[in-house]
Structure 1
């Protein structure tokens, strides 16, 4: 346990120091309102985009950088992330991590595919096991349960309707046969 605490302390210190350097270097370049504190090793946009020239896409490194940080700030708002959420096994933080990864990966792959892969591996290593229990779609777990209940009720209503129509046809047929006898 003490070894794990020491290991996590080193990661947090390393992330904080590298975050401080990146922010000081690029504060003038960023137009984003919110930047998350460093929560993984590859949480910033790379300084160079060697793979961008091979993509054939007409987008500048600065435009990619802005989209990358917009992805992060949009998801901070979406999941209502505060400093208290960081490094917790909460639905909000885990869903934030997953949705940020899904929108930043294509941007990073355009810029630097190696960095993109390292970002993906690092995120999975740090948060994969602890965040597997949370559903993170646009719906919450209660919404999913509500949809399952609604679907079940529709199926039951359909079965009841078929039985009622079948019964009405059977008794109607029986009544008509009695009348003609």
Structure 2
């Protein structure tokens, strides 16, 4: 009921404004009149969408809550989507922590993983693919600076069906999950 009351008030206010505000005769039939009609139509459309959303929320509150929660969750994932700079910072932090441990006490898996990532960075073959809510880090076959025919030709690149084999990490929520998983026990020697 309250929603209908607000809708009636908004319609009355709009009618009052449209009655009091009219374009002068010199602007009729010009670009200014078309521009004013465009903006009033746009405001009317957005007002109708807002009213429909509120009505939907009153009629189906659970569904509206699920849609709102999913939208907010997706928005939060997009805001916290890491990029290549975050990966390089995390790699430097883990590398510095690994260096502080004696080579005999370093975990072999963590040491090899960091060494492989450093080789990929030195070869300049690390690529990022942002999907909006997460980021895929993958290794390309050729360097960014390579100008040979094999590197430039689109048919000699990474095959889409085998793309999953080249993925080295997945970034989500400001973390790179494989890097964190490989480095969780970096200071324990399993030999």
- The question of a shared fold, defined as TM-score above 0.5 by the shorter chain, is answered with no
The structure richer in helix per residue is 1
Which bracket does the TM-score occupy, shorter chain normalised?
A: under 0.3
Q: TM-score, normalised by structure 1?
A: 0.25
Larger Rg: 2
Give me the TM-score of the superposition, normalised by structure 2.
0.24
